[in-house]
Each structure stands twice: as C-alpha cells, then as structure tokens.
Amino acid sequence: MSAIVVRQVAAADYDDWRVLWDGYNAFYGRTGASALPEDIVQTTWARFFDQSEPVHAIVAIAENRIVGLAHYLFHRSTILLEPTCYMQDLFTADALRGRGVGRALIAHVRDAAAKAGCTRVYWHTHESNTTAMRLYDSVADKSGFIVYRCLLPEKA
C-alpha cells in the first residue's frame, strides 16, 4: 500500500467522501427508513467549510483515492480550562482496515487538537465494534464511562 496522506477535506472530495459516509452510516444501521435525511447530510457537509463552525473533516488518501474519513469538533468543558476535542466519526474503507488508515486519522486529529490548545481528545464506539477497539486500545485509554442519551421530541 502507498503512504497514507491525511488532509482537510476539500469541496471536490464530496463524491468520494459520500461513499465513505454512506458506508459509515450503513455500518451503524442507518439505512433505508433509518437513513439520515438528506438535509442532515448536506448541512453536515456545508459545516466543514463554514469558518464559524467548530466541526472539521479530514480524509485519508492511499493508492490515489480517499480511503478514510474523520470528523471532529472542539468544545468547552466544565472540568478543564482548555478546549476539548471530540472525534465524532471515524471510518476506513473495508478493504484497508488494519493497514494504518485509522491510526493515521487519529494521529492527525490529535495533532489538530494539540494545535488548538486542547488537552484531551475523546470518542465513542459501539460495544460490538471489536475491530476498531483493537486500534483504540492501542492509542488511547478507556475512560470507564458509559454513554446514555435521551431522544427529544421533534420541534413542531
């Protein structure tokens, strides 16, 4: 495999990003009736290019194609003075899993967070995602926290 290059997403990357984004959402069961509405996809994409948004997107390139993506954002914390970085999404093309793409994306997010003055990067994964957890266990510590969420009714 050729060297992995990680860079900010560019507007011209949309079609390749979308293939990976759709694959990521399918991995987590967001397909068919459960698929993300198109307006969410388009708004998410637009946020990557809006300087007033705290959301960032990077892609990994190998073998002359985009083979991975990561989305992250910076936010305040009630327990730190410095900003915190949340890596919300990380996905690698199936054929290249275990070949360093995810590790390169995480390293890039860590570097971006450090440059932004963050002292912490964190993320979640599903308990069934054992392949990803093998990588995560080698680059980060488990916090011991369990995530809970409440879905709120849609606005009228």
The reply to whether 19 falls in a domain is yes
Q: Each residue of 77-130: pLDDT tens digit?
A: 999 999 999 999 999 999 888 899 999 999 999 999 999 999 999 999 999 999
98: β partners: none
The reply to whether 147 falls in a domain is no
Q: Is the pTM of this model over 0.85?
A: yes
Q: Each residue of 58-79: pLDDT tens digit?
A: 999 998 999 999 999 999 999 9
The reply to whether 148 falls in a domain is no
pLDDT at residue number 1? 63
CATH number at residue 114: 3.40.630.30
The reply to whether 111 falls in a domain is yes
Cα 22 to Cα 119: distance, rounded to the nearest angstrom? 31
Joined tokens for residue 67: 């083979």
The reply to whether 145 falls in a domain is no
Number of domains in the chain: 1
The radius of gyration computed from the CA coordinates of the chain, to the nearest angstrom, equals 16
The domain of 66 spans: 5-139
Which 8-state DSSP code applies to residue 64?
Answer: T
